[in-house]
Amino acid sequence: MSDTLQQINDAVITRKRAEIQGLVTRAIEEGIEPKLIIEDGLISAMDVIGKQFSDSDIFVPEMLVSALTMKLGLDSVKPLLKSEDSEPKGTIILGTVKGDIHDIGKNIVKMMLEGSGFEVVDLGVDLTVEKLVEQIDTIRPDILGLSALLTTTMPEMKNTIQELQEKGLREKIKIMVGGAPVSNSFAEEIGADGYGADAAEAVVLARKLIGV
């Protein structure tokens, strides 16, 4: 790993909020690909943070500040991922399910989808089915993308799909799911149309789902 990527990684882990954007800018100037900055510099740092949290070496406040540091880093890469396409490939509603406030992964998926020419309507975190139904009715998206990071909120994906079925909306959209505890088999089990392991897979899947 390049020296700058390593420093980005360290800055997220050690919560150096004041330094992260300068480091990301330096990586960009050094010609390091945005995908590498995101994956090797930023995302891999969150795995270390997750391990430290599991081992009780850090607690929620520290985890939160690392998350904020990562967000600042992502903000600096975002302009590089903008698509040149003027015609959107399709519209995607994206959100983190009810009860879950993790949004770093969802935001990366959003950035990559936008960078690939999709129009993304981000409904944020802790998304209720009521709000979702209202927005699907109004926006008529091609795809709904749901994210969940907690084993306790994964069942919300199933509930959401069931409710959309009951409201007659399920067949009108494709549904893709993702998030660390989610898997292909879980996606199949709950009746989603596909699962993306990471943001790059989410883009490939979205294209496949609507044939663009």
Per-residue binding string, ligand B1M, 2-41, x by CB under 6 A, is ----------------------------------------
User: Is position 50 an interface residue for ligand B1M (rule: CB under 6 A)?
Assistant: yes
Smallest separation (angstroms) from ligand B1M to the CB of 202 = 4
Coil, strand, or helix at residue 177?
strand
Per-residue binding string, ligand B1M, 51-90, x by CB under 6 A, is --xx-----x--xx--x-----------------------
Choose between 29 and 72: whose C-beta lies nearer to ligand B1M: 72
Contact residue for ligand B1M among 24, 104, 132, 157 (CB under 6 A): 104
Task: Outline where DSSP puts E strands in the chain.
Answer: 91-96, 119-122, 143-147, 174-178, 194-196
Burial of 166 (0-12, 13-18, 19+ CB in 10 A): exposed
Whether 145 contacts 92, CB under 8 Å: yes
The owner of tokens 């609507």 is: 210
Whether 83 contacts 117, CB under 8 Å: yes
Residues forming contacts to ligand B1M in the complex (CB under 6 A) are: 43, 46-47, 49-50, 53-54, 60, 63-64, 67, 99-106, 108-109, 145-147, 149-152, 176-181, 196, 198-199, 202
